[in-house]
Amino acid sequence: MGADRFWQSLGLCLTGLGAAFLLFVAAYPLGLVQAYPTPPAEAIEGPLGFEKKIEDLNGLYREANEPKQVYLERLTKAVAGGVVHYWTEGDRWAATDARYTKISVFDNYVIWLLGRLPAYHDSFQNYEFLTPRKALDRGYGFCSQASKIVYSILTEQGIPATIYSAEQHTIVEVDGNVLDSDYGVLVPHPLALVERDPSIVDSYYSDYEDMLPLLHGAYGQPWHQLGTPEGFQSARSYETIFDRLKWL
């Protein structure tokens, strides 16, 4: 009898722990908890703030017979409107910003735990998703995060794209077009040409005249390719694996 009670109690305990674990893992996907802090009002309402939450990812893909140029501009604007440009406490990202930019324990406790290990700490303190749904659900990010959303959506459809980064900005280049999904602007010129003469962008950023000096400085810098297709594919695969592991 004593042994039976022990196993019965153990079974109830394990069942309770299992239920609690499932509730913990499912809390964020079910909307029971908020995994990431809400951006401050000045970021949401600012010129690079929030316009409309992207609920349906299908709306970000190219429609049948949609002209490519029209699609690229639509995608760029949609992502810009659905992601708040990340603010920092200082001029640059610092460790104090990590509570916003690291992976939340409610989002994925596996990655959260890895981020606490010295070997992975730096990699996960300022993490940007390659999986569009994950990035859009978080709702904010630097220009590089917005660019990774656009890049992933395009490459899923077999549209070649390259992410380029400079000291002050990050964009996606597609077929000689600069896609700035931070501002929601498509510049129909190659990045190399814009780098030589940044004033080319002026008419395309007409809604951001106050920021033109900043944009001239950003586009006039040396640019380099950010990442590789193989590296991005590998990172996205790991995101998928970790998202499945959290349920085990």
Q: What angle do CA 36, 242, 103 make, to 5 degrees?
A: 20
| pLDDT of res. 10 | 64
| pLDDT of res. 51 | 74
Task: Work out the number of other CB atoms within 10 angstroms of the CB of residue 185.
Answer: 21
Residue 139 lies in a domain: yes
| pLDDT of res. 131 | 94
CB 171 within 8 A of CB 179: yes
**pLDDT above 90 (res 5):** no
Residue 66 lies in a domain: yes
Mean pLDDT of 7-20: 71
Q: Please, which pLDDT band fits residue 176 given cuts at 50, 70 and 90? A: very high
**pLDDT above 70 (res 231):** yes
Tell me the per-residue pLDDT of 114-159, one tens digit each, with 9 for 90 and over: 888 888 877 787 789 999 999 999 888 889 999 999 999 999 999 9
Residue 157 lies in a domain: yes
* DSSP E strands, 84-135: 84-85
> Dihedral (C-alpha) 85, 90, 93, 96: value to the nearest 10 degrees?
-110
Residue 142 lies in a domain: yes
Residue 2 lies in a domain: no
Q: Which domain holds residue 201?
A: 34-245
| pLDDT of res. 1 | 54
3-state secondary structure of 170: strand
Residue 12 lies in a domain: no
| pLDDT of res. 21 | 66
Residue 4 lies in a domain: no
Residue 17 lies in a domain: no
Mean pLDDT of 33-57: 79
> Dihedral (C-alpha) 74, 107, 127, 59: value to the nearest 10 degrees?
-10
The domain tally of the chain equals 1
To the nearest whole percent, how much of the chain has pLDDT over 90? 52
Mean pLDDT of 173-182: 97
Q: List the structure tokens of 229.
A: 């297709």
Average pLDDT score, the chain = 87
